[in-house]
Amino acid sequence: MNPEPPLPQSAAPEEKKARYAAPALEKGLDILELLSDTTDGYTLNQLAQKLGKGVSQIFRMVVTLERRGYIQADDNDRYTLTLQLFQLAHQHPPVKRLSQVALPFLHELAQRTQQSCHLAVYEQGRVVVLAQVDSPERWSFGLKTGSLMGLTDTSSGHILLAYRNEIERARMLNSHATVDGELRMDPGQLLSMLADVRSHGYSLMRSIQINGVTNIAFPVYGPGRQVVAAINIPHIARIDGASRPTIDQVKDAQAEICERLSRQLGSGSSV
Final residue belonging to a domain, choices 82, 110, 129: 82
CA-CA-CA-CA torsion sign (170, 186, 214, 250)? positive
Final residue belonging to a domain, choices 66, 82, 98: 82
Residue 17's pLDDT band (boundaries 50, 70, 90)? low
Residues 114 and 17 in one domain: no
Q: Average model confidence (pLDDT) for the chain?
A: 86
pLDDT at position 271 is 46
CA distance 211 to 216: 15
Query: What's the CATH number where 50 sits?
Result: 1.10.10.10
pLDDT at position 270 is 53
Residues 121 and 218 in one domain: yes
Residues 95 and 218 in one domain: yes
Tally Cβ neighbours within 10 Å of residue 105: 21
- Say if CB 232 and CB 199 are below 8 A apart: no
CA distance 114 to 254: 12
Residues 75 and 150 in one domain: no
Average pLDDT over every residue of 48-65: 93
pLDDT at position 241 is 74
CA-CA-CA-CA torsion sign (31, 34, 37, 39)? negative
Contacts of residue 145, Cβ cutoff 8 Å, sequence gap at least 6: 118, 129, 130, 131, 132
CA distance 95 to 102: 11
CA distance 174 to 168: 10
Residues 185 and 92 in one domain: yes
Residues 195 and 69 in one domain: no
pLDDT at position 237 is 87
Q: How remote is the C-alpha of 230 from its chain's centroid?
A: 10
Domain that includes residue 74, residue range? 13-82
Q: Could you read off the pLDDT of 229-254 as tens digits, one per residue?
A: 999 999 998 888 788 899 999 999 99
- Which H helix or E strand runs over 206? strand 203-206
Q: Could you read off the pLDDT of 249-271 as tens digits, one per residue?
A: 999 999 999 999 999 988 875 54
CA distance 173 to 125: 7
Final residue belonging to a domain, choices 27, 60, 82: 82
Residue at 45 is within a domain: yes
Q: Could you read off the pLDDT of 117-130 as tens digits, one per residue?
A: 999 999 888 899 99
- Which H helix or E strand runs over 217? strand 213-221
Residue at 66 is within a domain: yes
Residue at 193 is within a domain: yes
pLDDT at position 141 is 82
pTM: 0.66
Residues 68 and 129 in one domain: no
pLDDT at position 113 is 96
- Helices 155-162 & 166-174 angle (0-180, nearest 10): 140
Could you tell me which residue, 36 or 153, shows the higher pLDDT? Answer: 153
Residues 195 and 217 in one domain: yes
pLDDT at position 127 is 92
